[in-house]
Amino acid sequence: MPSRIEKAFVMWRYFKKGMVTNMAKKVTTVFFCQECGYETSKWMGQCPGCKQWNTLVEEKVSVTGSGMGGSAKTIAHKDAPKPVELSTISMEESDRISTNIKELDRVLGGGIIQGSLTLVGGDPGIGKSTLLLQVCRNLSGTGHKVLYISGEESLKQIKLRANRIGEFKENMLLLCETNLGLIEEAIKRTAPEVVIIDSIQTMYQEEVSSAPGSVSQVREATNVFMQLAKGLGISIFIVGHVTKEGTVAGPRVLEHMVDTVLYFEGDRHASYRILRGVKNRFGSTNEIGVFEMRKEGLVEVVNPSEFMLNGKPIGASGSVVVCSVEGTRPILIEIQALVCKTNFGIPRRQTTGTDFNRVNLLMAVLEKRAGMQIGDCDAYVNIAGGMKINEPALDLGIVLAIVSSFKNRPIDEKTICFGEIGLSGEVRAVSQAEQRVLEAKKLGYETVVLPKVSMEGLDPIQGIRMIGISGIGEAIDLI
């Protein structure tokens, strides 16, 4: 006969087994931060991780357990990877794959790196899928095997869009699927060199109980594609939808997991598109590529400076050309300003393409250091062409445009300027001054107004008259 203690021990074993089984099937609710991916069991107004407000969203996840009070054990594998000396690793330029689109290759740092994971974001209808389909056409035409996976369009819809772009070769494969398990099997079976995922918000993992597009699904899908890219040496492009703030929808940890983040900028109703590299582990950041949308697809703009200055008014006040550097490329852009007496008690200020607070600061410097009474004037500042630039080198151009409009005196058509302005009214040096001057000469400009400090390391350039200034008073005297 079993004793009372033995009966109690058997009952405890059954109780423990049932509890573990229930724990394995338990579904709980957690809250994820859409900005940084912070996880917590209860909702909070402010995320403890990134200190952002109202970013926590509720997700249902399945929790599995292996036992009561147990801990996971590390198993040593004989095939585990071993550390490798850095000097033994070889890297050649042939490891990059050219897309035959020079503007895209520039933003990527020279081409596609094997085993890289790239995120492409942008507003709906701006041209993300069109550009990637053109990349597939060029790569398949040069013998590279490409797999295009779509979770939003059918095969016939992709075929209709492909017919507008041009002829495709036999190395181009299509797959319409949203199940991550089936997609992973298809990638391993076909072994392509480049994979396009359109889009990451439509993919889902069966083991994750939340809906497609949620924080958990997006993070899990990106983790799967990252393992495929690094493990198999496949270059993967991920298309991501953006929120109303202009960032990729989903957790901010998504941008930290990928190697390169590209953003499409520009108005979807305009003809031009700007592809900007926000993050790049294989090249310079903030590099841009300029494209023009046509019926046959996106066509790269060879000379962005000439394209941006197209239609510039002649002899109009409040207009000045400034040289900005985006990544490694100098670009000439036009800054327009309109200053007039206000009809209201509080003057109105509005900016397009640049920082609103920066314009207010520069107007305060003009009023304090130059004695200009513009506190009762409406001011409108616009960067023509629709580009969004916040480089400090635009300060001198914004000031000259405001002064030109306020005094109604046009600036010479063959003059450009660049320089940063401090709170004391001084004009400070900016980087890559020589490249900016050479870009102005290439487009036929004759006079360059720049900081006097930047002229110390510059050699005289034939055909260009350089005027160095140290304060905004000298700049106003030029007008």
Q: What is the pTM of this model?
A: 0.76
Res 401: pLDDT: 96
CA end-to-end distance (rounded Å), the chain: 110
Mean pLDDT score across all residues of the chain: 85
Cis peptide, bond prior to residue 199, ω within 30 of zero: yes
Res 465: pLDDT: 93
Tokens representing residue 307 in the block: 């394209």
Give CA–CA dist 30/377, Å, rounded: 52
The amino acid at 64: T
Res 407: pLDDT: 94
* Angle in degrees, CA 63, 67, 72, rounded to 5: 85
Instruction: For the beta carbon of residue 184, count every other beta carbon within 10 angstroms.
Output: 15
Spans of the chain, pLDDT less than 70: 1-27, 60-80, 91-94, 243-252, 268-269
Give CA–CA dist 226/240, Å, rounded: 15
The per-residue pLDDT for range 426-467, each reduced to its tens digit, is 999 999 999 999 999 999 999 999 999 998 878 888 889 999
